[in-house]
Amino acid sequence: MKYVRFFYAGAVQYGMLNEGIITVLDRSFLEKEHQSTGITLNLNEVRLLAPVQASKVVCIGLNYAKHIAEFGGNNPEDPIIFIKPSTSVIGPEAEIVAPKMSQHIDHEAELAVIIGKSAKDVMAAEAYDYIFGYTCGNDVTARDLQRIDGQWTRGKSFDTFCPLGPWVVTDLDPSHLDIQALLNGKVMQSSNTKYFLNPVAKLVSYISHIMTLLPGDVIMTGTPEGVSPMKSGDEIVVRIEGIGELRNRIR
């Protein structure tokens, strides 16, 4: 099933998507009691938004060995985590705004995990019970600022630096999905989630032993090799098998 969050008739709304038709829901799909309103809309009638409003976006650094190698690092013993603020989140077709203080903005194509219910101290064997679904994500990074600071907060946290979408897919196995980033139509990143150093269940468990994950929170699972800089006017597309394409332009 595909779920969307969108803007229509002056309001933010939620729906189920099937073959280009949205069945409008009476509330967020993350709420247990959501129901159909009986209203249907064509997908091209609405403006899609980021599919969830996350209290936090928890990101995994260095989760593909080849990405680590391209930066000359070593595989970490435990997952490396950092947080992008909720204000960094934008939806499909929204503009990524390059900050004036940076001269090097990279794309990072990632599978994004959407948490469905409150998760604290979850065992890996139970992790999928807490996952609502999956979407495409782009961990946009001011690489020059990241290098200057020696840590990742500033370089990862600018407004618009976390595109998500276009929808959430629920019936998906995240363990073997092709993932790509296309910059102006050219494939720059191309890999598969089977190369995760830390699989999804381990990540949910690990993070939940550090902080409580709330419904709508997002886990960005790390990016493969091939990250490259973007400039104003560029179009970046994150494409993930079984989900679709997340498309944004740079300004």
Q: What is the tens place of the pLDDT at every residue in 38-49? A: 999 999 999 999
What is the domain partition of the chain in residue ranges?
Answer: 2-48, 57-250
Share of the chain above pLDDT 90, in %: 94
pTM of full prediction above 0.85: yes
224 and 63 Cβ atoms separated by less than 8 Å = no
CATH 3.20.20.70 fits 57-250, yes or no: no
Q: Residue 70 above 90 pLDDT?
A: no
Task: Identify the CATH class of 2-48.
Answer: mainly beta
φ, ψ at 200 (rounded to 5°): -55, -45
Would the pLDDT of 72 be above 90?
no
What is the DSSP code (8-state) at residue 66? H
Whether the ω angle into residue 224 lies within 30 degrees of 0, i.e. cis, is no
